[in-house]
Chains A and B, each alone.
Chain A
């Protein structure tokens, strides 16, 4: 029988480096409470096994970045690039998030229960991002693969230069970015959104009633003869 242990670590007594080193030593399945996060950057990054981590307040940049396994919950606000380059596992933010939430995430799930700022899901590479509230301008910029669900409104130029990633917006789309277009929802889309709404725990998004934004693929391939300028 595996014994689940519970650990408490505090940023009041540990440096960020010491904290991340301590997290790396913990056996899989450990429940961890990080006290006094104090807005520190780089909390719970680059962890390669499953841990249940709760960060007890507002945190800084790159929370949960580079992780491959843990489930991280932040009981507050996060700064830039939460879950940056996430491989698997999840990061859940109870408050608002600053820019570049889920930047370059390859896998896993990033849930923002408040609003996310500009460039959410920039260069997404396969991960999933669910934002309960609004996202700022240029969200989904150059996203290559994965899914972004926005419960609220999307700021200007959503999905600019998209590749294969798909963006679902529950609220208003301020404007589409270059080479982004709105596409009809299929039954598979509705299923996908329903699953996502369930895993994110959103009750305010109707899966049949979202706007799907995808690449129009006119910029998808570099055209050397475009306008005969080259």
Chain B
């Protein structure tokens, strides 16, 4: 099964309430995916650092790892400013310097550390356990921002671990969540590996994330990248993808993995089931519909 949710705010009024809007969306869809939960939340001023600062959502196998000491080592090694902000059992590091250099250094300092997402807008959490526990652990309700996509997982094709959870955020400010199954992901993965793409897990959804990232890297816009994914992947899927300035969905040609869209003048919200949207303000006046198969729906500022 799996549940996917997303919301993109058009109005500034709701931005300080993003967390309290999105947490119940995930919690309701825990019925579709109770084993793991993840959320990518987009905000320009998450940590109070200047807008445009690069941040890295980091995770270590040991909960409540000593991120200050880790940040200190990163600072010493690269000679850039680093600040660690604890978040749930993990942390967000704000660091100067070039992402590729910082990402390489993070792995050198402690190979067990994982970066679940990075960019100037994204903060990304994933954890095993039902949405209510995870939202509580990371204080999701208190968070603000302008966009979020999330996932509740019922694993069908790879292990239940934090690393196998969604969203997959494999390029700057790019996050992908997936409900469904790909039947040819090994072939797509082989092609990507042949092109030099590296993978963190054996998860099928990571292949979709890497595919979209590769197309964006080649200069495609998000709409074309998702059209490409729709053609390249065989199976039953609904994909929800976010970048710093857009949110988009695409469904395969059978369209048997559900998705509901609700649009108001204040926001666009999407979810596997409407029941996850029922608490949103003004939803009774929203335009609510099911998106068509094979069509990319994209919302951009």
Contacts and interface: CB of A to CB of B under 8 A. Distances in A.
A168 interface: no
A98 to B, nearest CB: 4
Given A58-B284, A76-B284, A118-B255, A39 B293 contact: no
Nearest to A118: B255
A58 B289 contact: no
B293 A98 contact: no
Interface residues of A, number: 24
Nearest to A136: B292
B256 to A, nearest CB: 8
Contact of A96 (B277, B284, B289): B289
B292 A98 contact: no
Interface in A134-155: 136-137, 155
Contact of B274 (A58, A136, A155): A58
A95 interface: yes
B275 A118 contact: no
Interface residues of B, number: 18
B292 A39 contact: no
B155 to A, nearest CB: 23
Given A38-B275, A39-B274, A77 B284 contact: no
Interface in B280-295: 283-284, 288-290, 292-293
Given A98-B258, A117-B290, A155-B292, 18 more contacts: A38-B278, A39-B274, A39-B278, A40-B275, A41-B273, A58-B284, A60-B275, A61-B273, A76-B284, A96-B289, A98-B290, A99-B256, A99-B258, A115-B289, A118-B255, A136-B290, A136-B293, A137-B255
Interface of A: 38-41, 57-61, 76-77, 79-80, 95-96, 98-99, 114-115, 117-118, 136-137, 155
